[in-house]
Amino acid sequence: MPAAPAPADSPRERILRAASALFYAQGIHSVGVDLIIARSGVAKASFYKHFPSKSDLVAAILTQRGEDWRRWLAQAVERLCERPQDRPLAVFDALAERFGRDDFRGCLFINSMVELADRSHAGHFIADDHKRRVTEYLRGLLAEAGVDRAPLLAEQWMLLVDGAIVTALRTGSAAPAASAQAIAAMLLQQAQPVVRRRRKPAQPGGA
């Protein structure tokens, strides 16, 4: 049975909130433990009681943020579209909303994989797992929409999602979400099952 989440104002939650905001805004390597302790208002002993190392903290944050991000995406898509066949493209409408936020700093998971270049690092593994889970969610959306080749399209959708996020950060605009959506719409059109014509029955005496 999973452990119950810590109270919102517990030292552990204060550490997670402070570190999550700092890592997202400034990066993992540039943020030291002392700054996190100061921002969270906990004692150093309390910090190390909950997180023996900075790597443990990074892993905990990426796990939590991944769950939060996937929950946000699913809820946003359901809010934006009632019909399953419209939901795959609604992913990009949800992204556009996120790109327009003042605190948008790109993708924490892409940023983390760049900083944590060692693939054996727990944080790198968790960030990669998050992307795989998002891809699986996209596959489900496409399958529910009745799209042919949903697994292949889900991989392409993920490329568009990541590309839109990076471009939105580079340009400071939400417009890349619409551009990615336009490409996705073309992919959808190409993926529609081909309606095969029924063969005409052979005429008597025909070849």
Q: Are 105 and 25 in contact (CB under 8 A)?
A: yes
Would you state the pLDDT for residue 207? Answer: 33
| Alpha carbon 77 to chain centroid, angstroms | 13
Q: Are 92 and 187 in contact (CB under 8 A)?
A: no
Please give the torsion angle defined by the CA atoms of residues 26, 31, 34 and 36, in that order, rounded to the nearest 10 degrees. 50
In whole angstroms, how far apart are CA 45 and each of 11, 49, 51, 127, 181? 11, 6, 10, 28, 49
The number of residues in the chain equals 207
Digit-by-digit pLDDT tens for the chain (207 residues) are 444 455 668 999 999 999 999 999 999 999 999 999 999 999 999 999 999 999 999 999 999 999 999 999 999 999 999 999 999 999 999 999 999 999 999 999 999 999 998 888 999 999 999 999 999 999 999 999 999 899 999 999 999 999 999 999 999 999 999 999 999 999 998 887 543 333 444 444 433
Query: For the CA atoms of the chain, what is the radius of gyration?
Result: 22
Residue 33: what residue type?
V
Would you state the pLDDT for residue 7? Answer: 61
In whole angstroms, how far apart are CA 2 and each of 5, 6, 150? 9, 12, 33
Domains of the chain and CATH, by start: 8-52 (1.10.10.60), 53-191 (1.10.357.10)
Q: What distance in Å separates the CA atoms of residue 62 and residue 94, rounded to the nearest whole number?
A: 21
Would you state the pLDDT for residue 193? Answer: 54
In whole angstroms, how far apart are CA 86 and each of 41, 135, 143, 188? 46, 17, 12, 11
Would you state the pLDDT for residue 9? Answer: 83
User: At 123, is the secondary structure helix, strand, or coil?
Assistant: helix
- Token look-up 């999550």 returns 20
